[in-house]
A = this chain, B = another copy of it.
């Protein structure tokens, strides 16, 4: 157990079909704009007035903001992997934009477990998540490969 009350898990502790659901995370207009100023300075992420004239018809979050929020929820409420959540590859889709005032939640599942061929001390865990808004609509799908160590001896 850790300070947060979660049990640290190693490769051999995990099973395909392990599911988790995160807490909810509200996305304010100010946060959308602050992220966009630093990382994705486009009018539909920066300015509600310009955004109203865009293809989105309103202010929307950068997809990378959605991905970053989803990572936070995965790190906080997903499995507490032995060496941390260390991703090596990810596939992301954004079927629907995140709008100011949306409340996000991550629903996740372990869908793959592949022992390393070259390193006996680890394996690759494939995690799939859906990030949903307050209406249950999917705003992001994510499939990622995480390196997870086997339980240390002793």
Which A positions have Cβ atoms within 8 angstroms of B?
35, 38-44, 54-55, 62-65, 67-69, 71-72, 75-76, 83-95
Contact = CB atoms under 8 A, between A and B. Distances in A.
Greatest chain B CB density within 10 A among A39, A44, A84, A95 is at A39
Contact of A84 (B42, B67, B75, B76): B42
Contacts of A44: 84
Greatest chain B CB density within 10 A among A44, A85, A86, A93 is at A86
Given A38-B72, A40-B68, A41-B72, A91 B94 contact: no
Nearest to A68: B39
Contact of A68 (B68, B72, B75, B76): B68
Given A71-B64, A72-B41, A94 B85 contact: no
Identical copies of this chain, number: 2
A64 B63 contact: no
A65 B38 CA distance: 11
Interface of A is mostly: mixed
Contacts of A88: 93-95
30 contacts: A35-B68, A38-B68, A39-B68, A39-B69, A39-B71, A40-B72, A41-B72, A42-B75, A42-B85, A43-B84, A44-B84, A54-B83, A55-B83, A55-B84, A55-B86, A62-B68, A64-B64, A64-B68, A64-B71, A65-B68, A87-B94, A88-B93, A88-B94, A89-B93, A90-B90, A90-B91, A90-B92, A90-B93, A91-B91, A91-B92
